[in-house]
Structure 1
Amino acid sequence: MAAVEDYSEAYAGEHGRFAVIPAAYVVLRRGDEVLLQRRSDTGYYDGYWAAGAAGHVEQGETLLAAATRETLEELGVGVEVRDLVTLTVMHRTGGTGAAIDERLDVFFACARWTGDPALQEDKASDLRWFALDALPEQVVPHELAVLEAVRDETLEPVTVFGF
């Protein structure tokens, strides 16, 4: 077996490696309601509703650490790792063929937190609770697919989107 240092960029390039961008999504739940934020001034689905907290995993950070960090940064609330319930792992693409377009999103639900959720950053213009059977008209498409599957009780442990 080769050591990690044996896998050079040249080796990776010769063997078709591509980048996978991991992200953690935290959907705060209050009974049958979910907390969503309206994206604003990000350049990505501005005006659409999205998970209350979500973001990329930083280098050297675990997925679970990213989930708790993003929830604190975006909503000002603390969550414990033990309270995160994995909803699904989504492998998705926008279909551009660009290496950066390969995504691995892990969606968590959380029904316990400390503090009162409030917008903490200027990348969202609104924050509201929505019943799963009364979601807003414009939700980021891959997130809508997860929320609808949660509502319909059809969510699989692993999902694909955009392929």
Structure 2
Amino acid sequence: MPIPPYVSHLRTMIGQELLWMPGITAVVLRDGEGEPGSPPEVLLVRRSDNGAWTPVTGIVDPGEHPHVTAVREVEEEASVVAEVERLVWVSAGGVVTHTNGDVAQYLDHTFRCRWVSGDPVPGDDEATEAGWFALDALPEMTQRFRDRIAVAVDNPRDVRLGP
């Protein structure tokens, strides 16, 4: 996975120690098979670093608004144009040790997004596959990503805070 230049610079100073970072999860939904009224489908990517299926995720660049990050990451990772509908959840994730040994923890902003255009294909080296999945036929994935998808689909009136 490419590391943003500012994170690489910070790593030269702190090594692999814990780094707190703002991140996003973009749960992109569309009507099933692209047809109005069909049950929704969710856009997922298979991560190149660990092979896991997830919604699109990413790190917020310095000075970038998280909703802008969501749209940018969807296009970069899955070659899909999406539009943010709303923020649905803000949560602090657990400590993660990446495959390269870097330790991080993320303040996640989960956005419900609407598909605008494009067929999902990996757009960069962060994903090896990208595709639409019916909500009742999701591939194996961690519970935290299933929960983020469920909250985005439920589209609660209030933003969920915390775990």
TM-score exceeds 0.5:
yes
Conserved 8 A contact 2:28-2:82? no
Q: 2-side partners of 1:95 and 1:151: how far apart?
A: 26
Are 1:35 and 2:43 matched, yes or no?
yes
Q: 2-side partners of 1:119 and 1:104: how far apart?
A: 25
Residue of structure 2 equivalent to 1:50? 54
Q: 1-side partners of 2:69 and 2:153: how far apart?
A: 25
Conserved 8 A contact 2:121-2:131? no
Residues 132-151 of structure 1: pairs in structure 2 closer than 5 A: 132-137=135-140, 139-150=141-152
Task: Report deviation, 1:55.
Answer: 0.5
SS of residue paired to 1:116: coil
Task: Report deviation, 1:132.
Answer: 1.7
Q: CA RMSD in A?
A: 2.8
Q: 1-side partners of 2:129 and 2:117: how far apart?
A: 20
Residues 8-157 of structure 1: pairs in structure 2 closer than 5 A: 20-31=20-31, 32-40=40-48, 42=49, 46-51=50-55, 53-80=56-83, 83-94=84-95, 101-137=104-140, 139-150=141-152, 157=160
TM-score using structure 2 length: 0.67
Q: 1-side partners of 2:71 and 2:28: how far apart?
A: 12
Q: Aligned residues: percent identity?
A: 33
Structure 2 unaligned blocks of 5 or more: 1-17, 32-39, 98-102
Q: Which amino acid aligns with 1:86?
A: L
Conserved 8 A contact 1:20-1:102? yes
Aligned residues: 132
TM-score using structure 1 length: 0.67
Q: 2-side partners of 1:129 and 1:103: how far apart?
A: 26
Conserved 8 A contact 2:88-2:112? yes
